[in-house]
Structure 1
Amino acid sequence: MNGRKKVAFYTLGCKLNFSETSTIARGFKDEGFDRVDFFETADIYVINTCSVTENADKRFKTIVKQAQKSNPEAFVAAVGCYAQLKPQELADVDGVDLVLGATEKFKITDYINDLSKNDFGEVHSCDIDDADFYVGSYSIGDRTRAFLKVQDGCDYKCTYCTIPLARGISRSDTMDNVIKNAKEISEKDIKEIVLTGVNIGDYGKGEFGNKRHEHTFLDLVTELDKVEGIERLRISSIEPNLLKNETIELVSQSRAFVPHFHIPLQSGSNDILKKMKRRYMRELYVDRVAKIREIMPNACIGVDVIVGFPGETDERFLETYNFLSDLDISYLHVFTYSERDNTEAAKMDGVVPKNVRSKRSKMLRGLSVKKRRAFYESQIGTQRQVLFESENKEGYIHGFTENYVKVKSPWNPHLVNTIHDVELTKIDDDGIVRFDLINQEAV
């Protein structure tokens, strides 16, 4: 691997994947590679795959073709969840040279002796039970915020989910290493850290495969709040049964944690929640939202919901729709259920036709638009702090308030990666909020 070879990355799926791609990329840099954009000519293309939805599976072939179009002689490697679940399927895709599973992906440079094309895809994939160690990750340099991985794997047995099969048991980083990574990020002038993992509320479980609980999620956020130089900390997705009152209260009084929660619901029907083997009923979800609203009335609350799960009759779907309509939440992430191999749900009766799934998804996406609009309207006239992004989008700079209201203003490079006090003034035609700067100096 002499000379300055070029490597490019494409990441499918979640924030956790983005953090791991960045860690893998740093490994390549240490080996003397220069990172380039995925749509540029590179010597090796690494695709970090996702297995959560059917669509992510299908997109893989398209991305491989794009890599081959950029450089037909390039070496193409696949890593990530789909690579762990169906390694041979990926290896059989024309143009793929290397497929690495859950334990191998962080050692990718060890598997690349030269960059000549293989006659067939070479697979190195462990039994997922061997994925019992932890590799810390964070993304940096791509944006004004960093995704910091604190936990991996999951011990839950949700009947629709392949993540435990793709990532193994729940295990956590050490507190010391998370704090060390947070300090490294703070030294690079990144203003915001988003905590990520598969099931971050389970933090403290299984440090390096050990089931002792050295620290809890509350311990973690308490210590992170003390790290100097980080202006904002944001919790990504956290299960409602693991979002404790103490954590909500800490966020409300915190120096850096922002009033934004993303809490998976998946269904507003208790019957469906039972079939999904979720660890709560809808009543607990109502209680969590009420607790947040009680002490942080302006908090942003996002919701994950799955439509078209087996057994979701019209009545049960309407139960979910009405439940969400009545709930004081801010937006929805809507997922259309798709059958995944080796899951309980794939064998269940009561399959919902795909056209019905699509119709229900459209209804909930429409509800999400209404919810977000109502939330934004409730914020007009308030004073907030905005962290501005680095991208010039059609002559505008965008940013987010601490409670996740998206704002825009004519492009001004001096605002990039700065935090300013603003007053929210109106909602533009595209649904994004305009503002007045309260002062020109960054906070």
Structure 2
Amino acid sequence: MTPQTVAFYTLGCKLNFSESSALGRQFEERGVRRVEFEQGADVYVVNTCSVTDHADRKCRRVVQQALKHNPQAFVAIVGCYAQLKPAEIANIPGVGAVLGAAEKFRLAEILTELELPEAGATGPGRVFASPISAAHEFHPAQSLGERTRTFLKVQDGCDYSCSFCTIPLARGASRSGSVASVVERVEKLAGQGVQEVVLTGVNLGDFGLQGPERERRENFTQLVQALEKVENMRRYRISSCEPNLLTDEVIQTVAASRRFMPHFHLPLQSGSDKILGLMRRRYRRALYADRVARIKELMPHAGIGVDVIVGFPGETEADFLETYQFLNELPISYLHVFPYSERANTLAPTLPGRVPERVRTERTTQLRSLLEKKKRAFYEQHTGLETEVLFEDDVTDGRVEGYTPNYIRVAAKYDPLLVGEIRPLRLTQVNALGLMEAEEVGLFA
């Protein structure tokens, strides 16, 4: 087939967004123009996620919407859900092809060689999905052009075996590029005018396993220290790092850096040591609290985000209250709260003590209330301070939004000259939408 246009729809994490961008560039190199979803593309690519529930329903809805915009479109499905359930997806009406983890970066090549079905033909889509063990190469990827910040993939896969998670089944074993290759890519991005790079990966702190044998050649600390020396890049963020892999050397480098932002996202999942054990996490709450305390010791204004799962099998009311109290006492900035959802081929659904859906919902609501309290308190601590904000191309009701170094979301009166720029501002107040208002203070000395 020889498509003229392609459109993407991306579900899930920052890593997926960077990979969609990489796939889009492969099509553009073949002369295929990338268009917006609603423009009726010849080919639609849906990049799926399996972390949250209802992956099947979400995938079906996106396929239906794509075919509304162009009933003759060819729809290809990639991503984590595509690796986990390829046959199931192939039977969704309108799906033309499903590509697994080892095949997705050959998407443009495969579709170019694929013969279109005859008009009116029905039946399942074509499946190109090898066992996950075949996904052993590291494919670099980055988002560029869709957002002010660039998401740069530096690591993929995971060697952990958390009892609730399908990511190792969907993305394979941990693997990375080299420090030198990442530095080279960052230097090119800086030359293209990119001002902030967000380092992304499945298990970012495990960076350094390279080559066919996945040898431990380098580590995440070395990557952070090397990127700090790239003079033309204004900002870096570390998207997420397992607390047991966040070394003191990394924290110290960020604390002393003018380029790495004082912002960390540390997945916790539970504040109960009992539940952490059932989850097969590789740390306990004492280590987590130590990492948070160390960050705050060196960077008092640092923003710290937390992932939490509630309603895990075996979680009693006492276990949940232990998590709530632990989070309430930590000097964190925001929470991402997820009710536990069962995943096929994981250990967790076989554990005793299933928590009813109603209770999961109630506990989620309680933690999300704590989220609002924590976030507002963090924002109010910074009222009156001067800082720098990188504004994005995100304009709503005459307001443009951006982020401070420590990840406070700021709203200011729209000015086209603000978009994509880092500007010095004074934080004034938290508005009714929970955003920080700001005013210009002139250039810093």
Asked if the contact 2:312–2:355 (Cα under 8 Å) also holds between the matched residues in 1, the reply is: yes
User: Residue 312 of structure 2 corresponds to which residue in structure 1?
Assistant: 309
Distance in 1 (alpha carbons) for counterparts of 2:241 and 2:38:
34
* 2:150 counterpart of 1:146: yes
The aligned counterpart of 2:19 is: 20
Equivalent position SS for 1:147 = strand
How far the C-alpha of 1:229 sits from its partner, in A, is 2.2
State the partner residue of 1:135.
Answer: 139
Q: 3-state SS of the aligned residue for 1:412?
A: coil
Aligned to 2:376: 373
* TM-superposition CA deviations, 1:222-264 (whole Å, max 9, x none): 1111223211000001000000111001000012000000000
Name the counterpart of 2:162: 158
Q: Name the CA distance, whole Å, in 2 between partners of 1:109 and 1:148.
A: 21
Counterpart secondary structure, 2:417: helix
Match of 2:128 in 1: 124
Provide the rounded CA distance (Å) in 1 between the counterparts of 2:92 and 2:215: 42
**Counterparts of 1:347 and 1:53, CA distance in 2:** 19
Partner of 1:200: 204
Note the alpha carbon deviations across 1:250-281, whole angstroms, 9 max, x for none: 00001200000000000000000000000000
Aligned twin of 1:180: 184
Counterpart Cα distance in 2 of 1:141 and 1:227: 21
The reply on whether 1:82 has 2:75 as its aligned counterpart is: no
Q: Would you say the 8 A contact 2:199–2:236 is kept in 1?
A: yes
Q: Describe the SS at the equivalent of 2:137.
A: coil
Aligned to 1:232: 235
What count of residue pairs does the alignment treat as equivalent?
440
The 3-state SS of whatever aligns with 2:158 is coil
Does 1:325 pair with 2:324? no
Distance 2:115 2:256 in 1: 53
* 2:414 is aligned with 1:411: yes
Deviation string 1:135-187 (CA, Å, 9 cap, x unpaired) is 11111011111000010000000000000000111111112221121122112
Contact kept in structure 2, 1:186 and 1:228, CA below 8 Å: no
Structure 2 contact 412–439 (Cα < 8 Å) conserved? no
Matches of 1:115 and 1:402, distance apart in 2: 50
- 1:115 CA drift (Å): 6.9
1:442 Cα deviation from its structure 2 partner: 9.4
Cα 1:262–1:416 shift into 2, 3 Å:
same
1: CA distance between counterparts of 2:444 and 2:89? 48
Residues 272-295 of structure 1: per-residue CA shift (max 9 Å, x gap): 000000000000011001001101
Cα deviation code 1:286-326 (max 9, x no counterpart): 10010011010000000000011000111111111111011
Map 1:265-304 → 2, pairs under 5 A: 265-304=268-307
Residue pairs, 1:327-342, within 5 angstroms: 327-342=330-345
The separation in 2 between residues aligned to 1:393 and 1:39, in whole angstroms, is 20
Query: Normalising by structure 2, what TM-score?
Result: 0.97
Partner of 2:296: helix, strand, or coil?
helix
Aligned counterparts of 1:48 and 1:77: Cα–Cα separation in 2:
9
SS in 2 for 1:302: strand
TM-score scaled by length of structure 1:
0.97
Q: Secondary structure at the match of 1:201?
A: helix
Q: Is residue 43–residue 115 contact of structure 1 (8 Å, CA) maintained in 2? A: no
Residue 356 (1) aligns with residue 359 (2): yes
Local SS of the residue matching 1:76:
strand
How far, CA to CA, are the matches of 2:143 and 2:178 in structure 1? Answer: 18
Q: Which residue of 1 aligns with 2:4?
A: 5
Tell me the distance in 2 between the aligned counterparts of 1:442 and 1:143: 26
- Measure how far apart 1:57 and its partner are: 3.5
Residue of structure 2 equivalent to 1:56: 55
Matched, 1:167 2:171: yes
The equivalent residue for 1:383 is 386
Structure 1 unaligned runs (5+)? none
Q: Is the 8 A contact 2:132 2:169 kept in 1?
A: yes
In the alignment, structure 1 residue 429 sits paired with structure 2 residue 432: yes
The one-letter amino acid paired with 1:311 is G
Which SS does the other structure have where 2:142 is aligned?
Answer: coil
CA drift at 1:418 = 0.7
Question: In 2, Cα distance between the equivalents of 1:55 and 1:104?
Answer: 24
Q: CA deviation at 1:114?
A: 5.1
SS state of the match for residue 97, structure 1?
strand
Letter in 2 for 1:84: Q
Which residue of structure 1 aligns with residue 104 of structure 2? Answer: 105
User: What is the one-letter code of the residue matched to 1:34?
Assistant: R
**Residue aligned with 1:271, SS:** helix
State the alpha-carbon separation in 1 of the partners of residues 190 and 201 from structure 2. 20
What is the distance in 2 between the residues matched to 1:399 and 1:231? 15
Percent identity for Structure 1 against Structure 2: 51
Distance in 1, Cα, partners of 2:110 & 2:333: 45
Q: Aligned partners of 1:80 and 1:187: how far apart in 2?
A: 30
SS in 1 for 2:304: strand
Give SS of 1:318's match. helix
Unaligned runs of at least 5 residues, structure 2: none
CA distance in 2, matches of 1:222, 1:410: 37
Aligned amino acid, residue 187 of structure 1: G
Change (3 A) 1:310 1:391: same
Cα distance in 2, alignment partners of residues 210 and 393 from structure 1: 49
Which stretch shows the higher mean deviation, 113-122 or 337-346? Answer: 113-122
Aligned to 2:95: 96
Amino acid paired to 1:203: F
Look up the match of 2:67.
68
